[in-house]
Amino acid sequence: MANQLESELHYPFDDALPARGGSLEVAEGIRWVRMRLPFALDHINLWLLRDHEEGPDGRREGWTLVDCGIDDAGTRAAWEQVFATELQGLPVLRVVCTHMHPDHIGLAHWLTERWQCRLWISATDWNAARVASAAIGDAHSGHGAADFYALHGLDDPVALAEVRARSNLYASMVRQVPERFRRLLHGMRLRIGAHDWQCIAGYGHAPEHIALFCPALQVLISGDMVLPRISTNISVYDTEPEANPLPLYLESIGGMRTLPEAALVLPSHGKPFTGLHRRIAQLLAHHDERYAEVLQACAGGARSAAELLPVLFKRELDLHQTTFALGEAVAHVHALQAAGRLRAVASGDGVLRYATA
């Protein structure tokens, strides 16, 4: 999003970022950790929450980790540095994952094994992660995706061949998912240290994303549901090709307007900020604008989702970004089709196109 929109938000820590393997305190008992990602979106924010648990031997002090990073050697090494320098000699008592995407759950198995603790996550996302990570080496996993992209107009043979050649991109970053977990549910109160955190389920981005809000601290760990600089990816995938996730996402973030505007938002990407209601309004307006652009383009003739990419994305995209962007384009046309504003148009080339209704 434009810098003008960013200027409407407040970043209380300005340009400060935690060093690799280090942390920054952002609120009482909450520390910010930042790990690298091998994508254009090159980082993920992770959170350390001061915690304790009661056991047969009495109270044990420690930490809850929120989100994990992908499973690679660099992320493991960065975590080891965090453990050595940032935990005050205390153990990790549990791992919370906001959702099942690789940058959030990738190292959950390693972390929970290393610290002999439990993963906490929604049941839907735990099951989805288990299914996706179990398909390691599936030679056919890329074919369904390539056929789906071709149906929606992607005709670059090199790109389609690269997608078909993928054995399992998800499992390369999430090699294993813990066999046991504790279930997080919408409305559940999760006690972490001295404070209660409210679980807020959100839909559209992941099967059952869980954000966490602490009324006492006025802090929202928003995961990927509300990001300050970019709009959250809302995509349709080949595994659920008729899905309509965008209205679910917009309804989910609209519901977060019941939280305080002054809450400190801790997002998975970008910097902590305040101005929650303003950011939600920006995101709702952003998708209204994209709807209008799609309708205008389709009024001039039937368009495939691939033909809508230059309309929705005004920058050059690599293949990784193109697949996400195409999923987002399909999400927009599905939402407009469900609302009765677009209709599918038959074509002789096997590509699905849409025109105004």
**Dist CA 121 CA 185 (whole Å):** 8
Query: What is the C-alpha separation between 234 and 292, in angstroms, rounded?
Result: 17
215, burial (CB in 10 Å: exposed 0-12, middle 13-18, buried 19+) = middle
- Decide if pLDDT at 294 tops 60: yes
Mean pLDDT calculated for residue range 59-87: 97
Per-residue pLDDT of 180-204, as tens digits, reads: 999 999 999 999 999 999 999 999 9
AA letter at 253: I
Number of helical H runs and strand E runs in the chain: 12, 14
Q: pLDDT digit string (tens) for 123-144? A: 999 999 999 998 755 544 688 9
- pLDDT at position 55 is 84
Residue 147: pLDDT over 80: yes
CA pair distance 122, 96, nearest whole angstrom: 10
Tell me the C-alpha distance between 153 and 350, whole Å. Answer: 9
Using pLDDT thresholds of 50, 70 and 90, give the confidence band for residue 161.
Answer: very high
* DSSP bridge pairs for 65: 48, 95
Q: Is the pLDDT at 56 greater than 90, yes or no?
A: no
To the nearest whole percent, how much of the chain has pLDDT over 90? 87
Q: Is the pLDDT of residue 1 over 50?
A: no
pLDDT at 76 over 90: yes
pLDDT at 299 over 70: yes
DSSP string, 14-25: TT--PPTT--EE
Mean pLDDT of the chain: 95
Q: What are phi and psi of 43, to 5 degrees?
A: -155, 160
For the chain, the C-alpha Rg in angstroms (whole number) is: 21
92/62 Cα distance (integer angstroms): 6
Residue 136 has a pLDDT of: 54
88 φ/ψ angles, rounded to the nearest 5 degrees:
55, 30
| Predicted confidence (pLDDT) per residue in 78-92, tens digit | 999 999 999 999 999
CATH class of 3-137+167-280: alpha beta
Residues 221-246 pLDDT 10s: 999 999 999 999 999 999 999 999 99
Q: How confident is the model at residue 166 (pLDDT cuts 50, 70, 90)?
A: confident
Q: What percentage of the chain exceeds 70 in pLDDT?
A: 97
Tokens linked to 210: 């869980």
Residue 207 pLDDT more than 50?
yes
Pairing outcome for strands 118-121 and 181-183: parallel
Distance separating alpha carbons of residues 39 and 110, to the nearest angstrom: 22
**Amino acid 3: pLDDT:** 66
What letter does residue 273 receive in the DSSP assignment? B
Cβ distance 152 to 305 under 8 Å? yes
* Distant-in-sequence, close-in-space partners of 15: CB < 8 Å, separation ≥ 6: 271
pLDDT band at 348 (very low <50, low <70, confident <90, very high): confident
Give the pair of three-digit tokens for residue 141. Answer: 């996993």
- pLDDT (tens digit, 9 = 90+) per residue, 19-54? 999 999 999 999 999 999 998 899 999 999 999 998
Distance from C-alpha of 357 to C-alpha of 344, rounded to nearest angstrom = 9
